[in-house]
Amino acid sequence: MSDRSIRSIAIVGGGTAGWMAACLLSQTLRGTGCAITLVESPDIGTVGVGEATIPPIFDFLKLIEVDLDAFIPATQATFKLGIKFDDWRAIGDSYWHPFGTFGVSIDRRPFHHVFHKARAQGLDPTAPQFSLAAALGDAGRLAHPDPRVPGPLAGLRQALHFDAVLVARFLRDHAERRGVRRLEREVAEAKLRDDGFIEALALKGGGELAADLYIDCSGFRGLLIEQALGAGYEDWTRWLPCDRALAAPTAHAGPPPPYTQAVAMDAGWRWRIPLQHRVGNGYVYSSAFIDDGAAQDELLSAIGQPLAEPRKLSFTAGRRKTMWSRNCVALGLASGFLEPLESTSIHLVCSGLYKLLDHFPDRDFASVNIAAYNRALADEYETYRDFILLHYCVTARDDTAFWRDRTAAPLPDRLAERLELYRACGRVDAKPGELFTDLSWFYIFEGMGVTPKAYDPLVDASNFQQVRAVLPELTARIAAVVAQSPTHEAALAAIVRRS
């Protein structure tokens, strides 16, 4: 330990982000003597509707040494093999963004290029035919419920749906067992030093909490990063105009499907997330195109009688201009917000934490280190924004003002370039390390009906007669795996029995 090491950390907020931060930081800093305190208000609730995740959630849970056999029952979790999009390209149309591999690489060319050639040759393939995850999802099955066990086909990946309130509770116990101190108090304000760094948190009713490093997980209000440090917000409403959500749970009407459903609506879209004990539903919409009452009517007519009154949430798409300012790092909703169409928010908490570890400061808080963190996270936010925007900007829908407006707005440059590249030759050029790979982009392009003019010329180097033979074999192999796989319901029941 250098004498400039961080000796204490204060985390403000006990939602998913706060407790995830407490778990990972206490895990990483154990043995260093660094004291971690999490302060959460007894009166300000959490958002608590973050329910769908993506496959790297398992890496995070493993890293903080969570026992999945305890976690899955405690959080009412179900498995997720991808997202099924209904009515996005056109009403009645449906497509998959499944996890895991697609087809097989032939002569080292990614399969989606082979797929493009097959289409050009008049074979009329469909993307879900070559995805095990999509085939399992449609059949309501899981290749193997335990992500620690490799599936029957390499490359199958899955994620979880869970009850975010129960997750925060689970992670709280986990973090407290590792020595994190919890204070149930409301922070009144942050006191600043002359150089603008946070000196201490003044607690409502008296008392202070001082630390070397502050983690702002206070939700949309950004108590430290915005209210105290004035980081500023980059507003992306011009691209992503949805600014409201109505969330309402319903009872199960059948076995829980192992996927998230995203159904396009008149002025936004609706999620359907199956948990063990209920179904989470919500309508993400733009208040510029529909009022709250009409949105509620539209939601209820789609989902039927809810188990509780619909809960309204307001937000602005975008991110803080700086997510790390001086001795404060913002995570979760305090750092920014992207509508949950691709379940990126909880992942952004993990990613912010990993980057924080990669740029972990000492008490000198080198500004160049902070700038590097901010650059990396801003870039990540922007690629997710572009990926979400892709689901809208090429729609063929023109039945409501909201949908007509989606194809009218100019696109961010990087997305416009990706669209042009794909249309020309079926390539995406996602950078190494980008969460959404070429394959993810392919699924959305394909699902939204964007077909490239040409395919990768190197695919012509393969013997196409052999390729023709491989395609039905692949589909048959996938069908065989599906036929012998347990249902999602049976797999969940086995885990709950074991716990």
Tokens of 63: 């890293």
- Looking at residue 209, its amino acid is L
Q: Up-side HSE of residue 363: CA atoms within 13 Å toward CB?
A: 14
Taking CA atoms, 229 is separated from 15, 208, 348, 356, in Å, by 21, 18, 21, 19
CA-to-CA distance for 100 and 82, rounded, in angstroms?
A: 9
Instruction: Find all residues with CB under 8 Å of 44, minimum gap 6, and list them.
Output: 186, 219
Six token digits for residue 249: 């749970």
Nearest distance from C-beta of residue 281 to ligand FAD, angstroms? 11
Q: Give me Rg for the CA atoms of the chain.
A: 23
- Which is nearer to ligand FAD, 57 or 106 (by Cβ)? 57
**Residue 57 CB, nearest distance to ligand FAD (Å)?**
9
Alpha helices, H only, 318-463: 345-358, 367-393, 401-406, 413-425, 438-447
80 tagged catalytic: yes
We find the least distance from the C-beta atom of residue 494 to ligand FAD, in angstroms, to be 25
Nearer to ligand FAD, 101 or 281 (CB): 281
Cα gap 487→495, rounded to integer Å: 13
Distances (CA, A) of 165 to 38, 75, 128: 17, 8, 33
| Angle (deg, nearest 10), helices 464-484 and 132-139 | 40
Closer Cβ to ligand FAD, 203 or 430, answer by number:
203
Given 80, 84, 117, 355, which residue is catalytic? 80
Binding stretches for ligand FAD (CB under 6 A)? 12-18, 39-41, 44, 46-53, 164, 186-187, 217-219, 221, 223, 245, 247, 282, 313, 315, 332-334, 340, 343, 345-346
Q: Which is closer to ligand FAD, CB of 44 or CB of 300?
A: 44
Residue 101 vs 325, nearer CB to ligand FAD: 325
For ligand FAD, the closer CB: 75 or 345: 345
- Give min distance, CB of 346 to ligand FAD, in A: 3
Q: In the structure encoding, which two tokens stand for residue 214, read together? A: 């502050």
What whole-number distance in Å separates Cα of residue 318 and Cα of residue 341?
14
Q: How far is the CB of 248 from ligand FAD (least distance, A)?
A: 11
Q: How far is CA 189 from CA 16, 203, 334, 494, in A?
A: 22, 7, 15, 48
Contacts with 281 (C-beta within 8 Å, 6 or more apart), sequence order: 247, 248, 249, 250, 270, 271, 272, 273, 299, 303, 306
Is residue 68 within 8 Å of 146, Cβ to Cβ?
A: yes
**Shortest distance, position 75 Cβ to ligand FAD, whole Å:** 13
Nearer to ligand FAD among residue 317 and residue 393 (C-beta): 317
Q: How far is the CB of 201 from ligand FAD (least distance, A)?
A: 8
As annotated, the active-site residues are: 80
